[in-house]
């Protein structure tokens, strides 16, 4: 089987990290004879990873894209030109399938159009699923109708859970939709690093100060760092003996820094640390992690935190209540409930959940399922399918 992987993102974040792990799983498959990876040269970290993989495995071929999705965003002529460029390569390769990494259904569009133009069977990988806009503006309605059309373009979808699959089936009822759950590094579930040791190594106090950590791309629209800051300012007394660590980078980093600098309350307890290549010590040092996102897939930091047996307080969005107990969830937008959950989370037992996560999100399980969803025969008639086991009872408690 000849398989293509397409990613035109200029970002090297959690979505791209899962794509790397997908590639590592596919190179091990004896059923895949060639793996052609389309990746932007301007995404240095991702391009370097693919180039190194190609040097180690003869079946892997790197195809450098001369653009990123961000560089052609809003330019219809550039999008069509790059789609035709990619389609010409696809016609020569004659792939059995092209997997297109799509953080949203409108990312990776050049690859999706190229698959259509070349007649290549396409699989959309991990697109978040939009809800109908609440706005009555004509422009928002037009964008929504356009997105509805794009959802019908892929032949197949790979998504993360039953919640997202159900939403995809509403928009693309004739596409086969498969589930492939994420995996994380074994280190998180096997770490012997204690809270005290982690704090000492990071220069953090271990004198009863509560450490609260937010790890993720600094993007107010999705990750809601602004909501976290608003919650602190509304409850300054609750955070008096706390340090809030914010780890990550992104488009709203400057706005975040300005908000903290302008507020005496925030300046007292918030530390912006930027991107960290290894977040394990920060997770181990924390009493509680937080993720007040407006929408999510299945965030890696949620899995990593539970594996390291640290509670994480998450907004009840996007079906995340299928993964965590109610004591670690709060209604999205509720500042009071969010703060209450943060300081109560230290008493929530997560050892049993961590044990289940070690099995459910292991590299071995992921590798087997990743190979299965790619190499299984294309259906004569498209139908939904699953590559994962039902949600364990332990997650429903």
**pTM of the predicted model as reported, rounded to 2 decimal places:** 0.88
Residue 104 sits in the same domain as residue 193: no
- E strand or H helix that includes residue 125: strand 122-125
Q: What is the largest CA-CA distance in the chain?
A: 65
391 belongs to a structural domain: no
* Domain interval for residue 29: 2-183+363-386
In a 13 Å sphere around the CA of 13, the CA atoms on its Cβ side amount to 20
Note whether 328 and 313 are within 8 A (CB). Answer: yes
Q: What per-residue confidence (pLDDT) applies to 384? A: 39
- State whether 18 and 100 are in the same domain: yes
Written as six digits, the tokens of 70 are 């961000």
Same domain, 343 and 221: yes
143 and 18 within one domain: yes
Both tokens of 261, joined, read: 């600098």
Residue 88 in any domain: the answer is yes
HSE of 263 in the Cβ direction (CA atoms, 13 Å)? 20
In a domain, 394, yes or no: no
Domain count, the chain: 2
**Is residue 393 in some structural domain?**
no
**Residue 21 and residue 28: Cα distance in Å, rounded?**
11
Q: Using CA atoms, how far apart are residues 164 and 105, in angstroms rounded to an integer? A: 13
Task: Check whether residue 91 and residue 218 sit in a common domain.
Answer: no
- Asked if 37 contacts 131 with a C-beta cutoff of 8 angstroms, the reply is no
Let me know if residue 247 belongs to a domain.
yes
In the prediction, which pLDDT does 390 show?
A: 39
Same domain, 199 and 153: no
CB under 8 A, 24+ apart: contacts of 66-70: 66/40, 66/41, 67/8, 67/40, 67/42, 67/110, 68/8, 68/9, 68/10, 68/40, 68/42, 68/43, 69/8, 69/9, 69/10, 69/107, 69/108, 69/109, 69/110, 70/9, 70/10, 70/11
Give the mean pLDDT per block of 10 residues along the chain (397 residues): 97 92 97 98 97 98 97 95 98 98 93 98 92 76 86 96 93 95 93 97 97 97 97 98 97 98 98 96 98 94 98 96 97 98 97 96 95 86 42 39
213 and 110 together in one domain: no
Residues counted in the chain: 397
Q: Which residues contact 182 (CB under 8 A, 6 or more apart)?
A: 18, 160, 298, 300, 303, 361, 366
How much is the pLDDT for 387? 46
> What is the CA angle 148-152-154, rounded to 5?
130
The set of residues, in sequence order, having a beta carbon less than 8 Å from that of 328 and lying 6+ positions away, is: 311, 312, 313, 314, 341, 345, 348
Q: Domain of 229: which CATH number?
A: 3.40.50.2000
Residue 245 covered by a domain: yes
Q: Same domain, yes or no, for 150 and 214?
A: no
**DSSP symbol at 174:** T
Residues 303 and 269 reside in one and the same domain: yes
Q: What share of the chain is helix, strand, coil (3-state, %, to 5)?
A: 45, 15, 35
Residues 287 and 376 in one domain: no
Q: Is 27 among the domain residues?
A: yes
Q: Do 142 and 204 belong to one domain?
A: no
CA distance 215 to 337: 20
Order of strands, sheet of 156-159, starting from the edge strand that comes earlier in the sequence = 60-65, 34-40, 2-6, 97-101, 122-125, 156-159, 176-179
Question: Same structural domain for residues 349 and 381?
Answer: no
CA dihedral 36, 41, 46, 47 (to 10 degrees): 60
pLDDT value of position 20: 97
Q: Is residue 32 assigned to a domain?
A: yes
Name the token pair of 268. 């007292």
């Amino acid at each position: 089987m000849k398989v293509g992987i397409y990613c035109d993102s200029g970002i090297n974040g959690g979505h791209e990290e899962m794509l790397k792990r997908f590639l590592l799983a596919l190179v091990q498959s004896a059923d895949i004879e060639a793996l052609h990876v389309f990746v932007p040269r301007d995404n240095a970290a991702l391009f370097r990873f693919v180039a190194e993989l190609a040097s180690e495995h003869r079946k892997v071929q790197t195809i450098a894209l001369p653009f990123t999705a961000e560089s052609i965003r809003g330019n219809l002529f550039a999008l069509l030109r790059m789609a035709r460029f990619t389609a010409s390569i696809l016609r020569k390769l004659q792939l059995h399938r092209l997997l297109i990494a799509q953080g949203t259904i409108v990312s990776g569009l050049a690859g999706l159009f190229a698959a259509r133009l070349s007649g290549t069977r396409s699989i959309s990988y991990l697109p978040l699923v939009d809800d109908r806009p609440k706005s009555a503006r004509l422009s928002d309605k037009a964008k929504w109708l356009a997105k509805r059309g794009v959802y019908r373009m892929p032949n197949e979808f790979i998504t993360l859970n039953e919640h997202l699959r159900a939403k995809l089936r509403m928009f693309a009822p004739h596409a086969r939709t498969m589930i492939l759950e994420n995996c994380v590094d074994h280190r998180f579930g096997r770490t012997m690093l204690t809270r005290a040791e982690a704090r000492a190594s990071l220069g953090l106090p271990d004198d009863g100060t509560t450490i609260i950590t937010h790890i993720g791309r600094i993007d107010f629209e999705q990750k809601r760092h602004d909501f976290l800051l608003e919650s602190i300012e509304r409850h300054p007394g609750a955070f008096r003996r706390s340090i809030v660590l914010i780890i990550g980078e992104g488009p709203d980093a400057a706005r975040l820094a300005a908000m903290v600098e302008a507020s005496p309350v925030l300046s007292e307890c918030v530390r912006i640390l930027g991107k960290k290549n290894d977040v394990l010590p920060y997770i181990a040092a924390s009493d509680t992690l937080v993720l007040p996102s407006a929408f999510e897939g299945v965030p890696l930091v949620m899995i990593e935190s539970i594996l390291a047996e640290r509670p994480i307080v998450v907004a009840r969005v996007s079906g995340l209540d299928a993964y965590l107990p109610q004591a670690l969830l709060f209604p999205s937008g509720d500042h009071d409930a969010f703060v209450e959950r943060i300081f109560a989370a230290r008493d929530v037992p997560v050892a049993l959940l961590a044990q289940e996560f070690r099995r459910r999100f292991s590299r071995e399980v992921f590798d087997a399922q990743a190979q299965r969803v790619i190499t299984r025969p294309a259906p004569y008639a498209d139908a939904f399918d699953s590559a994962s086991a039902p949600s364990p009872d332990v997650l429903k408690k």
